[in-house]
Structure 1
């Protein structure tokens, strides 16, 4: 049975140190309306999101258009790079992509984040088999999930993502059979 997962990287947010409560920016809200419009053409059955406000706000429009509730899935939250802010983000992120087992102080390694992301993905594939499911999430965890199924989705791919961005992953059972970018 074919299941389509529409991974939506959240729109632009207003930076605050509060990861959970960081909201979309004005531009982000405008882009979220575009996301909703693009997804309306996809016959969406369910909407799932990371618990982070910016991810929820990015997929809220499609959920409201379909009169659907948003199911929260903790394991689609962004990977924690480090407990404390890092001085050189580019260096730190490059290093974890070069070594999937590396973790910074209090942060998740790629393999740890990927494992929880795959656990959530497999749960969605089982619970919503044969359906079209939107998943509001974040760039790093999204690409780590994609990387599990095909290693061409790597640091360079992540680094080229737009904000927001939408990728439709088509599965037959738990096997990835196609990936398409949804854009206008």
Structure 2
């Protein structure tokens, strides 16, 4: 298989970020998050990554920015890679995990002011498909979030769902390898321990 026929996407779930009500887009990283971003930089620099995209949320951008700076490349922001909105800010969920589970049980369901799995997945996968076409044969880093990452993976492999989402860490890294000759996802490899 030629190098041009092989494409790798590195999904980097953001590092630790302090929760601040109403600051979904502007939350940066904690001190631990910054230390983990440095570890991510060291780990992925050895992978010879070439291109960087991110959700517009600062915690996702900041998690991969140091690596992009070391490589000397910009981080391109893609609005449609943002995290799925659980619900409108006027709704409070007594059990966050149960609310998430409900969303995974019915991909068409959405809480008031929120986004269904079907809708979030469709917008995000559209970007992933564009990146696969535009960057065939390259290694692309994507700054992301647990829920939208799970929905993207689920599109390519239905085995990914609530239990996978619940098992992911902050940060987390998964490499998806494609054979571009037949547009086939070859494997998904977790790179964060």
TM-score by length of 2: 0.92
Inter-partner Cα distance in structure 1 for 2:85 and 2:153: 18
Query: Size of the alignment, in residue pairs?
Result: 184
- Segments of 5+ residues of structure 2 without an aligned counterpart are none
Q: Which residue of 142, 151, 169 maps to 1:135? A: 142
**Inter-partner Cα distance in structure 1 for 2:42 and 2:26:** 25
Corresponding position of 1:102: 109
1:114-166 deviation line (CA, Å, top 9, x unaligned): 11110010011011111000000100000100000111111101100011000
Measured in 2, the distance between the counterparts of 1:176 and 1:117 equals 17
- The residue that corresponds to 2:79 in the other structure is 74
CA distance in 2, matches of 1:119, 1:111: 12
Please provide the CA RMSD for this pair: 1.0
**Residues 8-157 of structure 1: pairs in structure 2 closer than 5 A:** 8-16=12-20, 17-84=22-89, 85-88=91-94, 89-157=96-164
TM-score (norm 1): 0.97
Please state whether the residue corresponding to 2:38 is helix, strand or coil: helix
The match for 2:168 is 161
State which structure, 1 or 2, has the greater radius of gyration over its C-alpha atoms. Answer: 2
**Distance in structure 1 (CA, Å) of the matches to 2:113 and 2:169:** 28
Alpha-carbon distance between aligned partners in 1 of 2:10 and 2:134, rounded to the nearest angstrom: 15
